[in-house]
Copies of this chain bind each other. A is one copy, B any other.
Amino acid sequence: MCSKKIPKHVIERIPLYLNYLEKLDEKNVIMISSKTISDNLGLGEVQVRKDLNLVSGNGKPKIGYVLKDLKYDLEQLIRSEQYTNIIIIGAGNIGEALAKNFQYEKPQFRLLGIFDNDSQKINSSIINIKVKDISTLPYFCAHNRIDIAIICVPGNNAQAVCDIVVENNIKGILNFTNTYLNVNKNINVRNVDITSLLTMIAIEINNKGENINGK
């Protein structure tokens, strides 16, 4: 209802703010100013102020923000429902490592299922979750509201898996494969491909560029 469209770049900074605020909260810090935040996160002072004003707007001149209130306002952006429900598809090295990570994840993200097509893996347990047969995925999705699928199957199966989860009403995908996924624009896909990330870093290392120069 009262939602506003948050610019893409702001969305990418919100986890940074949240993470920082959580750490301060643990240290029982009460108040926080945008200057302190910008200094510690290496961002522009005005940029932080603009971001926070957009998503919270509860700052007080001269005083700053009440930390817990600001954190609450940021958290409100994450979900209308109480939990964001997640499944992992592909119980290989990466899938298993990610699943284990969920034990330490923020509680608002719940890992509801792990799927694979390898009979050796099906019915084995990772943390306390039994790996299910991928063929049961449509049934599972029909009976649970799944928000995000984490795909870490071999690249050549990725598009097929993607099509299945999209058909089953998943809204977001975290793609750990090296395959570009063709999906409808209303599905939010984020890609984590190690080769791509290393390539970007390598290019920037090489690109500490001299200036533009005739071809």
Contact = CB atoms under 8 A, between A and B. Distances in A.
> How often does this chain occur in the complex, in copies?
2
A47 interface: no
- Residue of A100, A106, A147, A202 with most partner-chain B CB within 10 A: A202
Interface size class of A (residues with CB under 8 A): 35 or more
A29 interface: no
Interface in A169-205: 171-174, 178, 180, 182, 185-186, 188, 190, 192-205
A112 interface: no
B208 A19 contact: no
Interface of A: 1-6, 11-12, 14-16, 18-20, 40-42, 57, 77-80, 84, 86, 92-94, 96-98, 100-101, 105-106, 109, 147-148, 171-174, 178, 180, 182, 185-186, 188, 190, 192-213, 215
